[in-house]
Amino acid sequence: MCRWAAYRGNALFIEDIVSSPAHSLIAQSHSATEARTPTNGDGFGIAWYGEREAPGLYRDILPAWSDCNLKSLASQIRSPLFLAHVRAATSGGTRRDNCHPFVHGRWSFMHNGQIEHFEKLRRPLETMLPDHLYATRAGTTDSELIFLLALHFGLETAPLPAFREAIAFIEHLATHLGYQAGVRFTAAFSDGNRLYAVRYATDENAPTLYASAMSAERGYCLVSEPLDDNRQNWMRIPDGSAVIIGADGLEVSVFETDTSLDFAMPMVAAQ
Amino acid sequence: MCRWAAYRGNALFIEDIVSSPAHSLIAQSHSATEARTPTNGDGFGIAWYGEREAPGLYRDILPAWSDCNLKSLASQIRSPLFLAHVRAATSGGTRRDNCHPFVHGRWSFMHNGQIEHFEKLRRPLETMLPDHLYATRAGTTDSELIFLLALHFGLETAPLPAFREAIAFIEHLATHLGYQAGVRFTAAFSDGNRLYAVRYATDENAPTLYASAMSAERGYCLVSEPLDDNRQNWMRIPDGSAVIIGADGLEVSVFETDTSLDFAMPMVAAQ
Amino acid sequence: MCRWAAYRGNALFIEDIVSSPAHSLIAQSHSATEARTPTNGDGFGIAWYGEREAPGLYRDILPAWSDCNLKSLASQIRSPLFLAHVRAATSGGTRRDNCHPFVHGRWSFMHNGQIEHFEKLRRPLETMLPDHLYATRAGTTDSELIFLLALHFGLETAPLPAFREAIAFIEHLATHLGYQAGVRFTAAFSDGNRLYAVRYATDENAPTLYASAMSAERGYCLVSEPLDDNRQNWMRIPDGSAVIIGADGLEVSVFETDTSLDFAMPMVAAQ
Amino acid sequence: MCRWAAYRGNALFIEDIVSSPAHSLIAQSHSATEARTPTNGDGFGIAWYGEREAPGLYRDILPAWSDCNLKSLASQIRSPLFLAHVRAATSGGTRRDNCHPFVHGRWSFMHNGQIEHFEKLRRPLETMLPDHLYATRAGTTDSELIFLLALHFGLETAPLPAFREAIAFIEHLATHLGYQAGVRFTAAFSDGNRLYAVRYATDENAPTLYASAMSAERGYCLVSEPLDDNRQNWMRIPDGSAVIIGADGLEVSVFETDTSLDFAMPMVAAQ
């Protein structure tokens, strides 16, 4: 199921989101309350933006609750924009390349959700990738693949349309191959400037997403589940929404896939 | 809290206890039902007897549910006597040397429980060890230390009295230093010939212990919680008991520490 | 570069090949003498046949010289046929799925060598795989891919022809795409009954391969470099050879790829 | 044998010392040129000072050459004072707690060298530690123990005298117990303000130590072996020296242990 948290604002210590709160991301790695399972112990990762164009990336397969390195890094690194994730594996074994966030150039991405029938869709979806993206495919998760497809569909110039198309393509492909289309997609991504999130599911039953303003830091955080019990501080983002956090603040808009889009389906030989 | 399972009888594939049952040890690593926490994801280990005098030992820090090596080994290795453990850490970080079982010569040992105030008792207890056992102290758990103390108190010649003395010593030391004595000790150990278990707690509230006869294999298994729902197959071992499984079968006896024992307390300088 | 060792004969403790000899495989992991680099510290693995049809498999990313689990397993497990490998990475990062041996059903495979220009050939080669083999592709090495191609070309019915075709195909593909063909292939594989090895290179400069009879055990071992200094015990296998070890003993034959074979080249779009 | 590198000056990306140079620390992890062995693949670590009083600490057991996390962290983290180390194990197994640097409060420490007959001296040395330092003893290396002894002997108020006493104590103890005294100690340590190094050996054959001024950064680095071939930039620090780098620059002085010191030897029972 996974849990994640992201922040954009004045530079904050990563621990202020990942370790310190009453129901921090590390706490959620063993006792999540709004996920299908309480345990998200199949690895973790943080991606943070600093002086470089590309973000830093630290991922490991240990449960987040037992990693001393994570605690030390989170306590030392201050960043104005970062993503953090704890994993409950659905597709793909436990190894660093299957931990989120994923990074490509200056883009980072993390995901909570899954692609139904992924084992049937995986190959045709990988076939869609152009060579330079295929070459970077390092793991076996549906999450990494959605990210690579979005890069193919123009993430670097138009992020939300790119994911809209990627998800619509996956839904079309499933139907085309005779399966029930099903994508659950509560994700966050960033280019180091804006922080984006999407909450979407084919069956309108996407994993939860909350936002909170952190006025002292002139910032916002986005989370799978609130980091504390002050429920009035946490705005529940509705299903079928996109969030953009930029220098101007936070903006919510409708996110739906375009059912009228027509795709050339990849050639999939009968096997 | 930890969960464990042990077997003695005709040679059995380790997976028949660790992986295959409905509520196998691997299942208990993420969904234990009779432990304080359902998750026991701070490492695992197996020790098994074969042709050598000393047992084989395989331990790692990954949660048992995600380790492919464990599944393969358990599916391949057949043994007439083995111990298997999944860890929920109380004292001591997550690393191989803090995973159970522990092995010394031909003896293996695993433990569910803890020593109250261990951080205060650790040093005086380590001071008790003779040089050759001190030199083997590789981790920082209370469990490993109880094992080493029992070796010091004659485990190799009289196993149950050795643990009786070791536990009594710990209780005395705590009282001597002004702390509330508290040892919880549901453990299994073996020399490769007999399989022993003890269920004991100072406050008579020891973690659970069950035994089951596996008649087809002319064997017995001992577990923290039953491996399936057939409750009539599982004999609950009462608090304050010792179990010995040998060629002759299974025997249960009373296990208590001797409150009349007098120990020379180690010199503990005021610091 | 990698180093490996394999054995077939009366059941032998794995350590008799992997740990105990003067120049054991573990010794070769830090001080290989006939490899391009002395260090082969990018992971290791063992596959061994026992009671099951499929072999057991234990792989990890630590250098072989520092893994206590490997020493214990090798000391406990006795097997009539096993493969062991220590890795020096060329293509593919350091992770368990990139460690050898690879296993598919009852077949195991390990490799020393590489495919020239693999980063250009990887995608077309993966395109060749039928769905059921594509779905098992877990890593990113050229080695795993050669194995999967051989399975596609009929490894399970005719092992040596299957590898002959797979290698010829790779050479043809390279030429077809405008690259210099170059495959270095000193490999061992088994179905649990016979132990096979091949020493081949496009440029006739394949990594070394030796064989030795172990008469006491009525067995043979195959190695990258001899396990001890008694050079008269080690038969150097010439370049362009295949070795089959079965119940009848050891047989060496010529191994060459068939330059007359004609392949339908996969459709590779200009990107 | 180990290799290390440290820096103090204007904030520098850690990679400028650890990854980028022609003969960087990561290069030295597989191909050291002035060490007993070229391979230092038994783990690595970095400690760096930033906004907190205590340094950050990242250590892992993988060879430095294969860790993606290390490369990313080194590329992102800028620090005015940091220590970095790659390990070749002498005493103590391969695990995070045995990797350098070690950290205590705001102090960090790393070491190249060893204590002769450590297996005999370990227990009496650990006995010397006051309770609060004994409780922090997490690993089994001689290096960590020298650091804890120095803390006991007043590192926090007088760093160089503290190490002088600690080393002298170890030498006395060895002699007292009938062994040949032998300490090899080329180490670096810091409180986040000054960077210290010592090059000392009982037999005057200490591992090498070099210093270089990095004038553009108004800084200095200290290394086991030069990071590049410009030998004129690297000042060889003689045996029996201490180096202090502070805001005022770099200062070298004589470092010797005081053979006239008289110590009360710990009570070591004949065993």
- D68 contacts A56? CB cut-off 8 A: no
CA distance D165 to chain A (A): 31
Give the number of residues written for chain A: 271
Whether omega for the bond prior to residue B80 falls within 30 degrees of 0, making it cis, is no
Q: D238 and chain B: CB distance < 8 Å anywhere?
A: no
Q: What is the ipTM of this complex?
A: 0.91
Q: What is the pLDDT of residues D50-93, one digit of tens each?
A: 999 999 999 999 999 999 999 999 999 999 999 999 999 877 78
- What average pLDDT does the segment B67-74 reach? 96
Strand partners, A201: A184
- What average pLDDT does the segment C61-73 reach? 94
- C61 contacts D42? CB cut-off 8 A: no
CA distance A224 to chain C (A): 30
Mark A188-220 as b/e (b = at least 16 C-beta within 10 Å): bbbbbebbbbbbbbbeeebbbbbbbbbeebebb
Alpha carbons within 13 A on the beta-carbon side of A183: 28
* Partner residue opposite D75 with nearest CB, options A52, A72, A96: A52
Give B-chain residues touching A94 at CB under 8 angstroms.
Answer: 62, 66
CA distance D77 to chain A (A): 8
CA-nearest residue to B53 within chain C is C76
Q: β-pairing, D210-214 with D235-236?
A: antiparallel
pLDDT at position C37, please? 83
- What average pLDDT does the segment C187-196 reach? 98
In terms of average pLDDT, the best of B33-42, D147-156, D259-268 is D147-156
- D57 contacts A72? CB cut-off 8 A: yes
- C73 contacts B73? CB cut-off 8 A: yes
CA distance B57 to chain C (A): 6
- D73 contacts A58? CB cut-off 8 A: yes
Q: B27 and chain A: CB distance < 8 Å anywhere?
A: no
Q: Is A2 a catalytic residue?
A: yes
CA distance D1 to chain A (A): 24
CA-nearest residue to A271 within chain C is C131
Using DSSP, state whether D65 is helix, strand or coil: helix
DSSP B64-105: GGG-HHHHHHHHH-EEEEEEEEE---SSS-SSGGGSSPEEET
pLDDT at position B29, please? 93
Angstrom distance (rounded) from CA C240 to CA D246: 64
Answer whether A206's CB lies under 8 Å from A186's CB. Answer: yes
Q: What is the pLDDT of residues C132-177, one digit of tens each?
A: 999 999 999 999 999 999 999 999 999 999 999 999 999 999 999 9
Give A-chain residues touching D16 at CB under 8 angstroms.
Answer: none
Residue type at D177? L
pLDDT grade for C259, boundaries at 50, 70 and 90: low
Q: What is the 3-state secondary structure (H, E, C) of A48-73?
A: EECCCCCCEEEEECCCHHHCHHHHHH
- C68 contacts B56? CB cut-off 8 A: no
State the catalytic residues of B: 2
- Give the number of beta-carbon pairs within 8 Å between C and D: 33
Q: What is the pLDDT of residues D223-260, one digit of tens each?
A: 999 999 998 899 999 999 999 999 999 999 999 987 66
Which chains border D (3 or more CB–CB pairs < 8 Å)?
A, B, C
Quick one: what percent of chain B has pLDDT higher than 70? 96
Give C-chain residues touching A135 at CB under 8 angstroms.
Answer: 119, 122-123
Interface of C with A in 109-138 (CB under 8 A): 119, 122-123, 127, 130-132, 134-135, 138
**Of the candidates D143, D141, D163, which has an alpha carbon nearest to the alpha carbon of residue D153?**
D163
Q: What share of chain D is helix, strand, coil (3-state, %, to 5)?
A: 30, 30, 40
CA distance C47 to chain B (A): 10
The CATH number of A3-254, from 3.40.190.10, 3.60.20.10, 1.10.1270.20, 1.10.510.10, is 3.60.20.10
- Give the number of beta-carbon pairs within 8 Å between B and C: 50
Give C-chain residues touching B68 at CB under 8 angstroms.
Answer: 57, 96
Which chains border C (3 or more CB–CB pairs < 8 Å)?
A, B, D
Q: D69 and chain C: CB distance < 8 Å anywhere?
A: no
Angstrom distance (rounded) from CA B102 to CA B112: 13
Whether omega for the bond prior to residue B55 falls within 30 degrees of 0, making it cis, is no
Q: CA angle, corner D10, sides to D4 and D11, nearest 5?
A: 70
pLDDT at position B266, please? 61
State the catalytic residues of C: 2
Q: B238 and chain D: CB distance < 8 Å anywhere?
A: no
Give φ, ψ of A168 to 5 degrees: -60, -40
pLDDT grade for B71, boundaries at 50, 70 and 90: very high
Q: C49 and chain B: CB distance < 8 Å anywhere?
A: no
pLDDT grade for A185, boundaries at 50, 70 and 90: very high
- D38 contacts C41? CB cut-off 8 A: no
- B57 contacts C75? CB cut-off 8 A: no
